Structure 1
Amino acid sequence: MSIKPKLVLYQILSGTLGNALVFLRPEKARQLSENRIALVHRNKKNMSIPERLMRAALLNKLDKIQDYDTIAEQNRNFWINHSATELFSELEDTFNTDFIPHCTFIFELLKNELSNQPEEFNTIVEIGTGNGDVLNYLSSEFPNINHFIGIDLSQDQIELNNGKYKANKRLEFVASDALDWVRENGSDQTIFVTSRGVLEYFTEPRLQELFKVIHGLGKTIFIAIEPNGADHNFDTNPNSQLYGHEPSFSHNYPKLFKTAGFSLWHFSQKVWYKANDMQTFVGAKN
């Protein structure tokens, strides 16, 4: 038997077992599927084999959502409540397994970009800072920058971060909507960063508005590390499209940055560890 038929057989058997377990253990199935985003992103390392089978069966049963505003509202409601802190905790190991080996190259490129800039940048703002690990890492990599601000929707997570990183006086964590914060507090000479799944929760019009507001601040740099659907061809489909079980939005980042007035100093993509997604890396400046 070739590899592909074996894979198909495995998927059929695992799907059958998963469906059976969902039927036999309805309370566990309810707990696993209590929140759509948590179900999608739940760390399988912390799950038993039966729970993994149930998770796969539940993912296949998720209703399709097509209304973009509904999707954005549901995603925002998740990230703003206490459940987000549990997910940040489960995904904490991805800082070492994904971010460090696969994403830090773009910050080495940023160092070169900054060396060619006549202006000095004094602030790094991370939108969607999560558990703060990335911002803390950046504070060690850019010793000449004095102020590092992490913005997140989750008040609970921000409080945890302020306790965890209280010894690092260069870090500040703020609970806020990113667009609201930039409008009220944004300034030039700032580097904005998103890391591995933040802008995907913005609708295209709201993301375009964010980029325009940041561009209007003056001299800024933006580094976006964001997932894209593997089937999203920017040439044949230049607009944003849905992807994933959550679902979230696969955006055409080069187009959106350029439309807002930025120029790109870096653009690349690589297959993400999820295999069915691409990780997109963008460096933009004005």
Structure 2
Amino acid sequence: MFDNMKSNFTRTIAKHIGNVLVFLRPKKAQELSENRITLVHKNKNNLSFQERLMRFALVQKLETLDDHNKIAEQNKTFWINESATELFTETKDSINTFFIPHCTFIFDLLKQEISNQDQEIDTLVEIGTGNGSILNHLSTEFPNFKKLIGIDLSANQIEINKKKYKQNTKLEFVTSDAYDWIKKNGKKNTVFVTYNGVLEYFLEQQLQELLIEINKLKNIFFVSIEPNGASHDFDKDPNTQLYGDEPSFSHNYPKLFKNAGFTLWHFSQIQLEGESKQTFIGAKN
């Protein structure tokens, strides 16, 4: 609500009232701001009006970070720790509110791409599987796949997923760093998927190395649905930029995939609310 206000006057008033509430309710303020990423992505629908004002004021106070290595380290620490589970819980409905209405088109295109080649694709790997809802949904979209593997840094969330989806025997959930797992377990005839904020936490060089490692495998398809900074023009500025209050990395995904040796079969973007847009990449080797 407050993040998208266009009136500077309205934002100033909201920030002032929020600061007063932060002063009057220090315990709630501490709870809201316990972690930077959780604060930025807090599900505002679960907050009272006063709490939303407090959150808005707290976000405005976040220190500006520009050290890429420090940012990547802090972000990885967040996703490993228990606090990530709270965010995964709050975003569990995104499959219905965003994924199905806005993202399924690229998987229809993927089906066409797969049908045009001779070798059978039998495995799907989701990097950054989170609460597992996307992986579970894709198991119904691709019934011929023998195995769908969800990788995530959060050991707590992986254990939750194993229990929640134990009836779906095609699903496998693994706690691991993506690069390490792929280097050891990656195989040909696989679709790799990322959705809504995974690759944006990789340093540019780390992401390039990951894509190069994946490209070493044979008969690979990759579907990447990742946010970018709204003002990031890949033609004018081909390099990675920082964006948002976390902050995250706005990567030039077409460039990085092509540099790794992939061919793009799809590229598009849609504008989101606030300071980001969603980028859709379909790639193969």
TM-score band (shorter)?
over 0.9
- Tell me the CA shift for residue 276 of structure 1: 2.1
Match of residue 171 from structure 1? 171
Secondary structure of residue in 2 paired with 1:120: coil
Aligned to 2:78: 78
Partner of 1:184: 184
CA deviations 1:132-167 (Å, max 9, x no partner) are: 000000000001111100000000000000000000
CA deviation profile, 1:210-231 (whole Å, cap 9, x unmatched) = 0000001122011000000001
Q: How do residues 122-141 of structure 1 correspond to structure 2 at under 5 angstroms?
A: 122-141=122-141
The corresponding residue for 1:275 is 274
**Within 2, Cα distance between the matches of 1:217 and 1:246?**
33
* SS of structure 2 residue aligned to 1:72: helix
Q: Tell me the SS of whatever aligns to 1:58.
A: helix
CA distance in 2, matches of 1:65, 1:182: 31
Q: Which residue of 2 aligns with 1:258?
A: 258
Query: Could you report, residue by residue, the CA deviation over 1:55-85 in whole angstroms, capped at 9, with x for unpaired residues?
Result: 0001110001111111001000000111111
SS at match of 1:104: helix
Q: Distance in 1 between matches of 2:165 and 2:208?
A: 32
Which residue identity lines up with residue 284 of structure 2 in the other structure?
A: K
1:9 CA drift (Å): 2.8
1:2-81 to structure 2, matched below 5 A, reads 7-81=7-81
CA distance in structure 2 between the partners assigned to 1:174 and 1:30 by the alignment: 33
Q: How does 1:62-211 map to 2 (within 5 A)?
A: 62-211=62-211
Shift of residue 8, structure 1, vs aligned partner: 2.9
What CA distance in whole angstroms lies between the structure 2 residues aligned with 1:162 and 1:239? 38
CA RMSD of aligned residues (A): 1.1
Cα deviation digits, residues 173-196 of structure 1 (max 9, x gap): 000000000000001101000000
- TM-fit CA distance, 1:131: 0.4
* Letter paired with 1:12: T
For the residues of structure 1 that align with 2:188 and 2:124, how far apart are their CA atoms? 11
Q: Deviations over 1:229-264 (max 9, x none)?
A: 001010111010100100010000000000000000
How far does residue 19 in structure 1 lie from its aligned partner after superposition?
A: 1.2
Q: Which runs of 5+ in 2 are unaligned?
A: none
In structure 2, C-alpha distance between the alignment counterparts of 1:6 and 1:255, rounded to whole Å: 33
Shift of 1:29: 1.1
- 1:31 Cα deviation after fit: 1.2
Distance 1:172 1:184 in 2: 16
Q: What SS does the aligned partner of 2:70 have?
A: helix
Measured in 1, the distance between the counterparts of 2:206 and 2:260 equals 12
Further displaced range: 164-173 or 6-15: 6-15
TM-score (norm 1): 0.96
